[in-house]
Amino acid sequence: MTEDGWPAGDPRRYFDAPIDPAHLKESSPNIYRRVMWFAIGIVVGGGLTALGVWASIDGRWWSVLLGVIAIIVGLGLLVRGVLSGSASKPFRGGQLVPGLVVEQADAAVQILVLGDTSRDPAASPAFAYRLVTFTARENTTFVPGQWVPCVMHGFVAPAWSPRWWSFEASPVTWATPDAEILDRANKAVPQAEWEQLLGGVDKVAEIRRRWTRLGRIDYEDLHESLRRPPTRLGVPVEWQADGRARFVGSVAAGVAG
């Protein structure tokens, strides 16, 4: 699995505003998630690795096999814990995408997000709905029907896949309370994507039943302007008969447009 790949859309969509560290610490539940993964990595991962080494020394074939498995799993958890990113990592250059609060029960919040999962800049967009769930901090407010610009991150897919299998999204309001920055983030997302997101509200129950919490959107169900966007990676393109994009300009021309 990897987080590396082609981002879609326009460079103006990348979140590059200043992050308020104090506000982030008070607002983002990812602060606790990082601590949890670090603890699991050190305690469980380290324990499994030690147990695996001990079992391998036993010498019996089944003990050696279990020992190897324990070592692999343990080292994986250990690495995952040590490399767990900080709460600010999602906001360092991630793509801005539209989000809508669809459920709020006490501190439990669910946001429906729309994102392009295509990893090939010359391919047609592969939009999907993703249901993101988190426990809101005490000093944050999320109400059903609230529009929330988010930053797309945490992509998951094997190297050979042309599309991301899943992704995460974090509300921009976790990174900053600045009203001007939040307004710019809202405006950076095309109106067509907000409308497409609204059209996915009736699919929330179906998406919630899926373990991936992700629902792909058929080409025919996409807003017309999202099927063949005029730019990919901020560069003007012409769409060919085979459905592939041909780059015909530069990033500067795309941004100027």
CATH number, domain with residue 171? 2.40.410.10
Same domain, 142 and 17: yes
Q: What are phi and psi of 4, to 5 degrees?
A: -90, 140
* Cα separation, 172 vs 182, whole angstroms: 7
Asked if residue 66 belongs to a domain, the reply is: yes
Q: Do 115 and 202 sit in the same domain of this protein? A: yes
3-state secondary structure 120-156: CCCCCCCEEEEEEEEECCCCCCCCCCCECCEEEEEEE
Q: Does 93 lie in the same domain as 190?
A: yes
Closest CA to 132 of 86, 97, 82: 97
Q: Token digits for 52?
A: 């695996």
Listed ranges 56-60, 85-89, 205-209; the one with the highest mean pLDDT: 205-209
Taking each helix axis from N to C end, the angle separating 46-58 and 61-82, rounded to the nearest 10 degrees, works out to 160
Residues 17 and 50 in one domain: no
Element at 24 (helix H, strand E): helix 21-27
pLDDT digits (tens, 9 = 90+) for 201-254: 999 999 999 999 999 999 999 999 999 988 887 788 999 999 899 999 765 454
Residue 237 in domain: no
Which among 18, 24, 17 has a CA at the least distance from the CA of 140? 24
- Percent of the chain at pLDDT exceeding 90: 42
Are 125 and 145 within one domain?
yes
Any domain includes 103 = yes
If DSSP codes are grouped into helix, strand and coil, which group holds residue 158? coil
Name the DSSP letter for residue 85.
P
Q: Read off the pLDDT band of 2 (50, 70, 90).
A: very low
Assess whether pLDDT exceeds 70 at residue 52. no
- Given strand 245-247, what is the order of strands in its sheet? 231-232, 235-239, 245-247
* Domain shared by 65 and 125, yes or no: no
∠ at Cα 172 (170, 176), nearest 5°?
130
Residue 147 lies in a domain: yes
Pairing of strands 245-247, 235-239: antiparallel
Q: 60 with 98, same domain?
A: no
Domain count, the chain: 2
172-190 pLDDT per residue, tens: 999 899 999 999 999 999 9
Q: What is the pLDDT of residue 5?
A: 44
Whole-prediction pTM = 0.77
**Spatial CA neighbour of 114 closest among 131, 102, 101:** 131
Same domain? For 95 and 183 the reply is yes
Domain of residue 55, residue span: 30-82
Instruction: Say yes or no: 72 and 94 in one domain.
Output: no
- Whether 101 and 69 map to the same domain: the answer is no
Q: Is the domain of 216 the same as that of 100?
A: yes
Q: How many C-beta atoms lie closer than 10 Å to residue 35's C-beta? A: 12
User: Does 101 reside within a domain?
Assistant: yes
192/149 same-domain check: yes
